[in-house]
Structure 1
Amino acid sequence: MVRTPLTPLERARGLQLGALLRGARGERSIGHVAVAAGLSPETLRKIETGRAPTPAFFTIAALAAELGLSLDEVAAVCAIPDPDALSA
């Protein structure tokens, strides 16, 4: 299966998601948070650095729960901007 290349917007959203998760993780180790959320530390590292910019919904839900984030907060950070607002 060939994966369609990500758009610049998708890559930017992945970086925003990673920054949100890193900030919420604070001083806790990647390993501790990843295992508590049911992920491997490498998977969390890839998400936080934007190398895995489109993780599955259930991955995000597990991370949000572990980090005390609401899914509304995550969605707000990763929302697609209104095209009309971009041109204004």
Structure 2
Amino acid sequence: MVRLPLSPAEVERGQRLGALLRLARGERSMLETALHAGVSPETLRKIETGRVATPAFPTIAAIAQVLGLSLDAVWSEINRPEGGTALAGPGPRAGERLAS
């Protein structure tokens, strides 16, 4: 399978996702968070640093649950307009919700 290069927008969303997860994790260890989410610490590290810009939905859902983040908050944050601050922007626009 050939993977197409990511667009700049996808890379930016991955960086926003990583920043959000790092912020939400706070003082919790990466190891503890990863194990509770059922992912490897290396996977969590790569997501948090933006090296994996498009992780699988179940992975993000599991990490968000452990961190107490709603998927709507995650979606809103990674799709916020440039210049907005983390978790301070408006909620998702009508019709923009993560699929359940």
Q: 1:17 offset after TM fit, Å?
A: 0.2
Return the alpha-carbon distance in structure 2 between the equivalents of residues 70 and 80 of structure 1.
15
Return the alpha-carbon distance in structure 1 between the equivalents of residues 28 and 78 of structure 2.
23
User: Could you tell me which residue of structure 2 aligns to residue 12 of structure 1?
Assistant: 12
Moved over 6 A (4+): none
User: Could you tell me which residue of structure 2 aligns to residue 77 of structure 1?
Assistant: 77
Long gaps (5+) in structure 1: 82-88
Identity %: 65
Q: What TM-score does the superposition give when structure 2 sets the normalisation length?
A: 0.78
User: Could you tell me which residue of structure 2 aligns to residue 50 of structure 1?
Assistant: 50
Q: 1:11 offset after TM fit, Å?
A: 0.2
Cα distance, 1:4–1:80 mapped onto 2, change above 3 Å: farther
Long gaps (5+) in structure 2: 82-100
Return the alpha-carbon distance in structure 1 between the equivalents of residues 65 and 55 of structure 2.
15
User: Could you tell me which residue of structure 2 aligns to residue 27 of structure 1?
Assistant: 27
